[in-house]
Structures are given as structure tokens and as C-alpha cells.
Chains A and B, each alone.
Chain A
């Protein structure tokens, strides 16, 4: 296969590696890792994040090489490292590059961060999705995002799955589909990039909540209640930010919720579970290998809800529970006493 048709993956975490392996079925792949020692280790063991690498993958520490050799690049790094990554890559990027990210987090501008810490309020213009971050930090315009029920562990095992690629550009969707699709992996398209990104990001809030429910042995009824009502809050909030409700009923929405909120292999779910068992959030974060995006997301979503006056009692309670040490039982009691209105109001 000619090197011209190489596809890049930036970030060799568990999801990045799983995606690289999927891509390698159809393409030559450059898998980039930030730390040279990491690259050496991956090459030595032919393993990254406990996954054996496909023979079509070349591991590299040279970001310029990735940008030069690949028109299509999948940045899959945690949201707190995303900005640095895109800044490092930016000098080598051109308007004809296609970037499809798989990061389920939000970035906050400095200005917004202070307000968020002081007043628990943040304006939408101070919160960036990863595709907006790519746009603002580089010349790349052909951006897309990849979201859906894609637990890295299962993809690595070769179990069947599907994802959504969202972009304003047909070209991005098509190129992404061609590169990723395979006998065990379906790829759908969407034009609503904001909706798909937000669905993927905000569902982590409910994954944490769902973990708490399990940890407290509150039962499946309670979990269903939390997820359904929490999802309604998320949809209302996302609409205020310009998303299309439909995306929340698709793979990146409901699909991802079903996979993440009931699976102990989800990082965010684990965070919730351990919280319910009485561990402190600090200790949990420090003990985890990869970032659980949901923790930060709860704080941001709560700030956005406050700013736009969207009524989100579940998000609020989770935020107080995690950041203000609200007693778990008090939180549950508050939610159960909450005034009930009509059931479905968001469609």
C-alpha cells in the first residue's frame, strides 16, 4: 500500500489504539504517541494499551511526519491534552487536511474557567468542543467527530459495533467511512456535529450517576429514572447550545448511553461506583490510568445550565455531590422530592 494513503491516529491510549487497529484493516496507519519512551516500548512489545498492533501500523513520535504523510488524521487524546496536541501539530496542517476526533470532553477558555470556579457559571462562547478547538487552533476546516457506543475493550476483542461520524462536510463523512468501515464495524454519518459531540460528551455525566446508583444498590428502576430524566436535561441544555435533538436519539446518543451506563468497563461508571463506596474524588482521579472525562464535564455542564437558566436538577445534584461534598443520601432525597411536571417535554 502506498504511503500516500496512510491514515494517522494521534494518541495511543486504549481508544486510539483500538481505532488504529480498525483503520489498519483498510489502510496503512501511523500511530503517534507523545512520549518517545512510550513509542519505544510499544514497538518493542508490539502492544499498545494492552492491544496487539496490526501489521499495517507504524508507531511514531514524529508529528510532522504524520501531518505530511496523512490527509486523514484521527486525534484521540484526552481533552486536557488536546489543545497542546493540536498546537504542536498546527504548523504542519493545511486546509485540505481532514481531522476526525474521538475525544469526549470539552475545553474551557481561561476567562471562562475563573467564572466557573467562582460562580459556577460559564457562557457557551467560553466552552469549546474539540472540533471548535481544532478550528480555532489550526487552519483545518474539514473537521469531524466520531462518537457512539464504542467501548475500547470490546472493539479490541473484535466484537461487532457501530459509530457515527459527524461533520458539515460530505467529504469528511465519506473519507471517514471508507477508512473505518469493516465487516465488524459500521459507520453512520451526520451533519449535526455539535449535537453528536455534545451527546458523546454529556452522556459521561450519566455514566458517573449510573455508577453511583449501582454503588448504592438502589436498583434498576432508579437507574432508569436517573438516565431518562438526566438525558432530558442534557437534551434541553444542548438545544440551548445549538444542537439538534435528533442526534440524541441516535448511536451517539441513546446508543452510547446504553453501552456506557450499564458497563463496569466504562471509566466514568467506575468513578461513580467508587464515589458511592465512599472514596474521595481526589483519590479516585489519582489512582486512574486514563482520564475520566465525565468529572470535568459535570462541572462545565452545571456552569452552562446556570448561565442559560436551563433547569437541570440531576446535573446540579451530581455537581454538588462531587465538588461540594454533598452527602449522597441528601442528594437522592433532594431529587426524589423534586416537583414533578409533565414527562416528555423536549420534543
Chain B
């Protein structure tokens, strides 16, 4: 992809040098970017130059076969759980019941014959129940027709032409928009001054990932805070030269034609969160397992949904993670442990200095603290126009955005070396086949796999904390929020949030002291590998760093989380937003250091 992604390793020292002399950090980061632009337009070559060799392209050539295969495998999986006629009838009846409710409120993306299809399934089921014959064949036919429908809907279509086109067109289109926004004048639409991904920083273990993606299978698991995550991480993947990934995208995104066009052809498959019946969920899992087993690099958002609080995920959904484990087990057992492909899990942190939907997210969070709320998914909020506007605002806001790639681990959460060997805590090699053995023999054990999946999720959660990049925005927001809290130490979170405007002000001195203490602790933690720091956080001139951060923090919100008043004090216009950006550094035990 023709972008100028900033590569952390090379640039870090440079940035630091500049910072110390800088009048404003902001200007120098811009200058720094120009430097990078000159240096490299292709920071990373594709690891597989020919798209035809990509797993995703190969699998897409076999689409028809794959649909039938997934249907068959899912059927077997469902029957394996309980092979009785009664059980299958029950599953079908449950699915029909739920689907009949769903089709009452159709979405644009739903096929037009949805209602008729489910009515006819219902009628067939009723007939069958009236003459129970203990033969399961007829139920199997019905199940197959449902599965065929589901699987055809789930499986995406990868198109080489669209991929090539989008790789050139998308950055082009957004660059135009960006320059327009930058100059605030559309007549300069074709004046290429500012590059789309200049504000994206790629940091972390990129070389290891590129290396292991050549022979192994990658399962990428990013943190999730914003609707544009799947797009930005998609760009990130392309920028570091990896082939396109399979990823499950919410059905509501497909209702935006502009996005659907690309997503359909870039390897996205459809996940419909309205369909909660066991048959659909099984089909999704089987598809994901098959894709991974066939070498398809995959991407899941393991948190399942956007983090409403902006805290790093503290709990993961195990369903799709389990498919990665299942794939590894089958690869090993099918090959009898000889010459099997290894699966590597890569935790990725997406860190934004500005999240456009922050106000809604934090409201959701505060309403729901302590209780689970049922979200009714809807496709209402997304029109092509809205999404484009959304992305336009995001990129034109010139906010800091970092993709931080963690070290690869094996499917059990053990770290792997650069050759893909799993290592234990003492650095000795582990033979992963042993995990699937009982008394020396490879053996299938679902309960064991479930515990392994839990272990993997614990490993990912730990890695999320370590790879988290503290942006100057987060650091200043954290210091400010905690200082407010300390000043009102007798009140709970909600009273702090409701604080009257005249109390929502800090002197520069107060904030500076807090930031200094916080940064001191953060650099200790960085030294120990417990967190990553954006180089600007370490700027010598703390006041400049605070200015930089307040300027960028939530820059496009109507009410600013922090701003510097004319008299030089720091004011918070919206405590909830401040809480939101501060939350990214929660859970490290930093509160004692502000």
C-alpha cells in the first residue's frame, strides 16, 4: 500500500531529539513526518508479492466447494452434540422461533424472501412433529437448507481487482478529503500536502509478525474502541506488507453500500449479531475454524464489542478464540503431529487520542456500570454519508493514532521466538503437541480445550496491558482526572462527574506536578516492559507536552475534555469525556502516583 506509515523504531530517537529543541511539539511531529515521507513510501514490502498466492485469494477460488464443505461440517458438529431426532427438532424449533421474531423487523441487508423461507421451514417442522418416525433424515434436510442459507450469507467474496483498486483508491480518496479539511477549502482538493496515514504510527514486533506470517497462520486480536477499528487495522495489516486477513464484520456495516463494496471483496465475512440461535453460531465457528485450518490469517475483536469505557478489555469472548484453538488441535491431530502448521496469536492495541463516538460510548458505560444491558443491534445509524463524514472527521482531526503490535504467542498464550518456537518462562522450548496429549497419545478433549481457550484469553489480556501505548492525550487526561478526584476525595465517581463548572479547573502548577509524577512512574513501567510510551510523553518540557495533549485531546468534540484558558489555567468542559480518555490508563495501579 502506498502510504507513509511512520515506523517507530527508526523514528523514535529522531523525534526525541527534535522534541527537546522544539518550540511546539506539534510542528515538529509534522516536520518529522515529512522526513519520513522522503525516506520511505513503501515501508514494508509485501511478504507475498503475488495476490494469487494469498490464502484468502486461494480460498475464494474455492468458494462453492467451501460453502458445501462448511454446511456439511456444521451439520456433523450439530449432530455430534446430540444425535437424537428429538434434540434436532428442538434446535430447529428454537431457531425458527427466534428467526420468526427477527424477520418482523428486517434490515436492508436481509434477503427479500426471508419471511417466506422461515414460514416454510416452520410448516415443514409442524408436519414432521405430527408423524414422528424416529428417523432423522427429514430433519437433516431442513437443517441443511438452513445451513446453506446461513453459510452462503456468511462467506465473503475476495476480489483481487477490488483489492488492488481499493489499495490505490482509498488512500487517494481520503487524502483528497484530508487536504481539503486541512486547508479548509475544497478548491485545494488536489493539492497533495498531507498524507492519510501520516498520523498513524506503527510500533511493536512487526518483523517477527512478518516473519511468522510466511509459514505460520496468524490470528490477530485487536482491542476495540471505535467503529473505524476494522478499517484502520486493515490499513495497518496492509502497511506492514501482510496479505489481507479474514475478519468477521458486523452485518450493520454491510448496510452501508460504500463500505459493503470493499468489505465484501477484502476478505470480510458477515456476522449477524441478531441471529443468536445455536445453528447459526455453530456455522460461524465451523467457518472460522475451516478458514484458519486452511491457512487463512484471521482477525477477531476478542472483546466482542467496543469498549464503552475506553478501558482496555478486561474480559474476552471465548467463542471465536476457541475456533483458533480447535484449528490448531485439528492441524496437529490430523497430521498425527508431523509437519503441521502452527498458529500464532498476535495481540494488537489500537490507541486513539480522539474517538469520535466517545460521548455515546461513555454514556452507555455510565448507564450500565454494574449491570448487563441488552443492546438491540440496529442498522439505523449507518448511512454511507454518515460513515464517510465520520472518517473524514477522524482523519482531519489530526489526532494521534497508534497501532501497537504485540509479540506473537502460541495458541496457549506462551511467547514464541523469532522462529516460531514456543518458550516457557525459563526460555526453554515447549513442544505444543504435548498440550493435546493424554498419557503420551494425541487425544480430543473438549473440556480441556475450553480451559486452554481461557488460558489464551488470559494471555491476550496481559499482552493488551503490556502493548498499550500511553499517548500524551491519555497521560494528561489521567493526571487531570485523578487530580480532580483527589481534590474532592470525599466524593464518589458520580459526584466528581457532576462537579459544578467552577470546580472543574486546575492551575498549570497542579497539573504539571501530577503529570510529572505520573510520567516518572510510567517510564519506570516502560523500562520493565509493562507498558509502551509514545515518545512525546517523555518530552523534557512538560508544559509543552501538556499543551500538545490538550490541543489534540478529543479535538473534535463539541465540549473539550481539557483546554487551556486565556489566564493559563486548565479547564474541563466535559468530565465524562475526560473520564473516557483517562480510562485507557486505568488498572495499572497508577492512582498512587498522581
Contact = CB atoms under 8 A, between A and B. Distances in A.
Contacts of A171: 438, 445, 447-448
- Of listed A90, A94, A139, A168, residue having the most chain B CB within 10 A: A139
B434 A91 contact: no
B435 A95 contact: yes
Contacts of B425: 136-137
A145 B440 CA distance: 22
A119 to B, nearest CB: 13
Contacts of B437: 96
A91 B428 contact: yes
A141 B412 contact: yes
Given A138-B424, A171-B445, A171-B448, A96 B434 contact: yes
A170 interface: yes
Interface string B333-363: 0000000000000000000000000000000
B137 interface: no
Contact of B426 (A71, A90, A96, A141): A90
A95 B332 CA distance: 15
Interface in B417-442: 424-426, 428, 430-432, 434-435, 437-440
A170 B448 contact: yes
Given A91-B428, A136-B425, A141 B435 contact: yes
Interface in A1-46: 4
B455 interface: yes
Nearest to A94: B434
A169 B447 contact: yes
Interface string B19-61: 0000000000000000000000000000000000000000000
Contacts of B231: none
B237 to A, nearest CB: 31
A170 B446 CA distance: 10
Interface in A133-181: 136-139, 141, 168-171
Nearest to A93: B424
Interface residues of A, number: 16
B430 A95 contact: yes
Interface in B128-145: none
A119 B468 CA distance: 32
Interface in A109-142: 136-139, 141
A131 to B, nearest CB: 13
B454 A71 contact: no
A95 B451 contact: no
Nearest to B451: A168
Interface string B502-521: 00000000000000000000
Given A139-B424, A170-B448, A171-B448, A95 B434 contact: yes
Nearest to B437: A96
Contacts of A90: 426
A139 B423 CA distance: 9
A60 B338 CA distance: 35
Contacts of B451: 141, 168-169
Nearest to A91: B428
Contact of B448 (A136, A139, A169): A169
A139 B447 CA distance: 19
Contact of B440 (A96, A137, A138): A96
B438 A139 contact: no
Interface of B: 412, 424-426, 428, 430-432, 434-435, 437-440, 445, 447-448, 451-452, 454-455
Interface of A: 4, 71, 90-91, 94-96, 136-139, 141, 168-171
22 contacts: A71-B439, A91-B428, A94-B430, A95-B412, A95-B430, A95-B431, A95-B432, A95-B434, A96-B435, A96-B437, A96-B439, A137-B425, A139-B424, A139-B428, A139-B430, A168-B451, A168-B454, A169-B447, A170-B445, A171-B438, A171-B445, A171-B447
Given A90-B426, A94-B431, A170-B445, 9 more contacts: A91-B428, A94-B430, A94-B434, A95-B412, A95-B431, A95-B434, A96-B434, A96-B439, A171-B447
